[in-house]
Amino acid sequence: MKKFIFYRLILPFCIFLNYILSDRKRKKILNWVIEKNNELVLNYNKNIKKTLPKVLLLLPKCLQNISCVNNIVSSIYNCRMCRKCSISEILEIKNYMDKDLIIYPKVVTGRQIAKLWIDEIRPDYIVAVACEVELVAGIKEVAGINVLALPNTIVDKPCINTTIEGKKIKAIFEKIINL
């Protein structure tokens, strides 16, 4: 019942508020929605045990350093691990967690490509990294799928050289393992 109320009433209302509030208030509401969504996903799935859950890790293209010439959209494994962006740390965490989870890391340029990967992989969980607005819109679009959202950090300008702390991704993976 909580999930129904959240996804059918509260989430659409918060998206509506997003259009009429100031930037500061908007960010607070979007972060609250992301936090409540993550709580619902983790609490709702507590007693559902699955051997090696499939996790789709959706990463935005803006995590890649803008000066990098490697195409990580076609394959994240094209990363040269230079450590100029978060991608190399994320790949290291993925490799470390592979014994407990089946992780499919994908770099996407928008929601349509993300939905294609969701349809193809059919994951048990999606761990999505993006800006707050994109995360909330994505959560609404795929309601019914277990999405754990992590807002990225805008360092300079939106959509350019953003970052995410690897320990946040690792913490989410550990929560999935411990469900």
**pLDDT digit string (tens) for 20-64?**
888 788 889 999 999 999 999 998 876 666 678 899 999 999 999
Nearest to 170, CA basis, from 63, 64, 86: 86
d(C-alpha 148, C-alpha 42), whole Å: 8
Write the DSSP symbol of residue 100. Answer: T
153 beta partners: 163
Helix (H, G, I), strand (E, B) or coil at 103: strand
pTM reported for the whole predicted model = 0.91
Please give the tally of structural domains in the chain.
1
Report the CATH number at residue 155: 3.40.50
Helix (H, G, I), strand (E, B) or coil at 160: strand
Q: Is the pLDDT of residue 148 over 80?
A: yes
Instruction: Write down the mean pLDDT value for the chain.
Output: 90
d(C-alpha 164, C-alpha 167), whole Å: 9
Contact 73, 61 (CB under 8 A): yes
> Which domain range does residue 26 map to?
2-177
Res 85: pLDDT: 92
Res 156: pLDDT: 78
Res 31: pLDDT: 92
Instruction: Give mean pLDDT, residues 140-152.
Output: 91
Query: What percentage of residues in the chain have a pLDDT greater than 70?
Result: 97
